[in-house]
Structure 1
Amino acid sequence: MTLTARAIAALVLSLSAGHALADQVPGAAAAPAIPISSQDRFYSADQFSNTVSVVDPSTNGLLGVISLGEPTPANLSPLYKGQLLVHGIGAAPDGKTIAVVSIGSNSVSFIDTASNTVKHTTYVGRSPHEAFFTPDGREVWVTVRGEAYVSVLDAATYQETARVETPNGPGMTIFSPDGRYAYICSSFSPETVVVETATRQIVGRVAQASPFCPDIAATPDGSQVWMTLKDVGKTMVFNARPPFAVLQTLDTGPLTNHVNIVRNAAGQFAYVTVGTENRVKVYRTDTFTLVTEIEVGSLPHGLWPSGDGSRIYVGLENGDGVAVIDTLANRVIATVPIGQGPQGVTYVPRAVTQGDGRANLTPLGAARASHQLVLTGEGDTRSQATLFEQGQVQMLQIAAAGLQPGKPYVLAFANAADGSGTLEPLTKFMTNPAGSAVVNAVGPIRQVVAADAGAPRRWLVIASGTPEAIGAVVQRQSE
């Protein structure tokens, strides 16, 4: 029997009905593209508001947030309920469930995409980072970054069924499109391991150019794996098949955060977020050449393509927004306000097949408020800072850059704009090999630096040394 082209197309659609994987990550290139519609959803894990933001890609509008925990200072008390530091996110192949990781409460929250409600919470080991479903949807692999294993959960019962031993500090797992391999990079050891999914045995090892890999992506054509190295500002590419040889190492820039793959009419491309440059860099996957750089906003972090590859959505960690990029024009076409400090993100085609999908969502509210600051130093060095409103206090996050590699520094208050006088330390930090760092502090900082708390004004500065032995001021808050 000979099938017509229309019949073949109908057969493909019927086979894919209820199955959200498209010809973009994490699906295979052979899957059908899924055009953007009002049934799709973009989700972000918002670390400082402890929310999941829900966006309708057909309008690029925020529908609301799913609250998983309280803002600071409520979470400084014993945490009997709710989640803390909402960080990682992954979607089931059928689009009906997202798994949201909270690194401060060691949890994975399974959220129903139709009702926006938590249907189960599983607690795992210390400081999990990301959770991803196997392509068959039967398991969820959770990288337990504070330990040395991946926790394998049954996707139906949500219970741990196995552990896959890894090098210390597994950062993220991504699967080959056919599900045969799990690629697990490390955040504390300079080694990525390749695990055969069925047997859970390590079948390959790839040396990382540095110990700290936060993100990894497999191309839909099944040929390559890309991973970022945040501490040295590089991105590595290796062959997705044995012997898993390294193909390329790219210098992408300090605080290289996440990488993801887009397939469109122009070919297949890797999109890489570079935090200190506020850019997304686009590379061809066949020649590894840089195609373009796209200015997106403050501290881009996670990113994920639509089901047809026509857009890619980029979470702005210090911008409380998501930048929407047209991947053929490679330009930002919208910026959508979302929760505070988006980290991991995902795009789910056909997440809501009935109704408007607004049930149980709440307004963004106070999580909308944030304030931007810049610290500058000699040689046009600069660090960007954001104050995230939490009520009476703020979470301060600084993307420090332009400092000496591997050196101790202090974030402090100064009595004068030029940094002179006595310094009051807020926190200490150590720069990575690229001379950058992400620095956090909490307190009534906005009131102090804006002098609206009835006290003399102070200025944020970065000084060399430690709180016990503070050295020279190297960067100062700009007016």
Structure 2
Amino acid sequence: MRILGRLGMASFLTLCVTAGTAFAAPPTELGPEGELYVPEVQSNTVAVIDTATDTVKQRIPTGPNTKPGVLAATPDGKKIYVDNFGFQPPSVTIIDRPANTTRSVPVESPPLGIFTSNDGKEIFIPEVGFVIEVLDVATDTIVRRFRYPDLAAGRHPEIPAGAIQGPDGLLYVGFMNSGMIEALDPVTGNVVRPPLIVGGIGTFWYTFSKDGSKLYANSINTLSVIDLKNWRVTKLLHTSEDGNYHLSNPGAFVSTLTPDGKKLYVTVFGGKDVLVVDTAKDEVIGRIPTTGASTAVMFSEDGTRGYITDMGPSSNAYPGPILDPVLFGNLVTAGIGLTPGQIVVFDPRTDQVVGDPIPMNVGPGVPAWLPLMK
């Protein structure tokens, strides 16, 4: 009996161990192979994240007081252009991925954004100094400039904050100090579409629908839907939790379309969470929680992962549209009181968060996802 008891107990323990192994929780699913480059404003670095394992593998210095904030990559993924918000001296940093090196190109004044042309041959750089500079990718030199009235011109000054080429080939320019957007010939700089009031101010970013019929303009306090054919605003989407307009609504900061074009993700300053917009209905259909203000959303090429740059709880000290630009100003200068941020990883098919956040340095900016170099 003792022998049988021992044998029985051994069998029972073996069964338990086997069952425990068989029914153990599966490991976290690996993400798509690639690299997420994330500018970290206050540490003057660009973090490189292995998106298969969601770990930081490298940090690339951009130089003292450069304040890197926005990235633009060439279509072949070999070069990344970094918008440096730093004032002394104004510059753009170029990351050469195959060589794993960086170099700096001087510009006239601090950039407010940086955007790749449709053909990948040029980089558009809107700047504080009332100018858009156009950089040639082949030579990394400035080849032309489009200037706007400044204070000395005796006209209403315009500071270009966004310069994004549309599916029609025109260069759409939004202005930091007004609620307008216009479209230029990207070669001559001639105005093709006259200034349009979008319904908010500080038009910093915009996204075109996949079929090219609509433009979504981000501005302080609202997201505007623009009919490109008729060049008119057709709808305003509000950033509040109840979907209504309030003076206290946070600003729509950066928007990103999913690879299939069915959803638009909108980050907000002066508030929390990321808005999810159904592009067929032009309605907010959900929110992805963040701990603070979010700067951008980026997707892997296959659309299976989304990455939110979350500034963290310290950014909540700047609620509403009035303090939205104050937060931005603090972010790109001294960073007083700001604490480290994070990357929130989610599945765009379900909008559910995947795994733990990836810790970042203070001020994660607008990233770029790229496949691994061959």
Fold match by TM threshold 0.5: yes
User: Which residue in 2 is equivalent to 1:66?
Assistant: 60
One-letter amino acid of the structure 2 residue matched with residue 317 of structure 1: M
Compute the TM-score of the two structures, normalised by the length of structure 1.
0.59
Displacement of 1:207 in angstroms is 1.2
Displacement of 1:301 in angstroms is 0.9
- RMSD between aligned alpha carbons? 2.1
Counterparts of 1:420-431 in structure 2 under 5 Å?
A: none
User: Which residue in 2 is equivalent to 1:371?
Assistant: none
CA distance in 2 between partners of 1:97 and 1:315 (Å):
21
User: Which residue in 1 is equivalent to 2:257?
Assistant: 261
Displacement of 1:154 in angstroms is 1.1
User: Which residue in 1 is equivalent to 2:81?
Assistant: 99
Equivalent of 1:329 in 338, 350, 365: 350
* Cα pair 1:114 1:351 within 8 Å, conserved: no
CA distance in 2 between partners of 1:211 and 1:295 (Å):
25
One-letter amino acid of the structure 2 residue matched with residue 236 of structure 1: S
Compute the TM-score of the two structures, normalised by the length of structure 2.
0.74
User: Which residue in 2 is equivalent to 1:175?
Assistant: 165
User: Which residue in 2 is equivalent to 1:139?
Assistant: 122
Number of residue-to-residue matches in the alignment: 297
Secondary structure at 1:130 match in 2: coil
Structure 1 residues 325-334 or 158-167, which shifts more?
158-167
* Cα pair 1:302 1:344 within 8 Å, conserved: yes
Equivalent of 1:161 in 143, 147, 152: 143
Per-residue CA deviation, residues 298-325 of structure 1 (Å, 9 max, x unaligned), is 2211222221222221111235211112
* Cα pair 2:32 2:304 within 8 Å, conserved: no
One-letter amino acid of the structure 1 residue matched with residue 140 of structure 2: Y
Secondary structure at 1:216 match in 2: strand
CA distance in 2 between partners of 1:191 and 1:208 (Å):
6
User: Which residue in 1 is equivalent to 2:97?
Assistant: 113
One-letter amino acid of the structure 2 residue matched with residue 101 of structure 1: D
CA distance in 2 between partners of 1:44 and 1:293 (Å):
22
CA distance in 2 between partners of 1:89 and 1:222 (Å):
23
One-letter amino acid of the structure 2 residue matched with residue 154 of structure 1: D
Displacement of 1:198 in angstroms is 4.1
CA distance in 2 between partners of 1:238 and 1:215 (Å):
13
Secondary structure at 1:188 match in 2: coil
Does 1:88 pair with 2:70? Answer: yes
5+ residue gaps, structure 2:
1-30, 149-156, 240-248, 313-339
Q: Which has the larger radius of gyration?
A: 2
4+ residue runs over 3 A deviation: none
* Cα pair 2:252 2:266 within 8 Å, conserved: yes
Counterparts of 1:72-471 in structure 2 under 5 Å?
A: 82-104=64-86, 105-118=89-102, 120-144=103-127, 146-166=128-148, 168-177=158-167, 180-204=169-193, 205-230=195-220, 233-239=221-227, 241-252=228-239, 253-264=249-260, 268-318=262-312, 319-334=340-355, 335-348=357-370, 350-353=371-374
CA distance in 2 between partners of 1:37 and 1:113 (Å):
19
CA distance in 2 between partners of 1:94 and 1:268 (Å):
25
Displacement of 1:234 in angstroms is 0.8
One-letter amino acid of the structure 1 residue matched with residue 133 of structure 2: S
CA distance in 2 between partners of 1:113 and 1:297 (Å):
32
Secondary structure at 1:140 match in 2: strand
Displacement of 1:92 in angstroms is 0.7
Distance 1:251 1:87, change over 3 A: same
Per-residue CA deviation, residues 348-368 of structure 1 (Å, 9 max, x unaligned), is 2x2422xxxxxxxxxxxxxxx
Counterparts of 1:32-47 in structure 2 under 5 Å?
A: 37-38=32-33, 40-47=34-41
One-letter amino acid of the structure 1 residue matched with residue 342 of structure 2: G
One-letter amino acid of the structure 2 residue matched with residue 286 of structure 1: A
Displacement of 1:125 in angstroms is 2.1
Secondary structure at 1:215 match in 2: strand
One-letter amino acid of the structure 2 residue matched with residue 44 of structure 1: V
Secondary structure at 1:52 match in 2: strand
* Cα pair 1:47 1:87 within 8 Å, conserved: yes
CA distance in 1 between partners of 2:165 and 2:231 (Å):
14
CA distance in 2 between partners of 1:215 and 1:151 (Å):
17
One-letter amino acid of the structure 2 residue matched with residue 188 of structure 1: N
One-letter amino acid of the structure 2 residue matched with residue 193 of structure 1: E
* Cα pair 2:163 2:174 within 8 Å, conserved: yes
Displacement of 1:139 in angstroms is 1.0
CA distance in 2 between partners of 1:323 and 1:115 (Å):
29
CA distance in 1 between partners of 2:68 and 2:59 (Å):
12
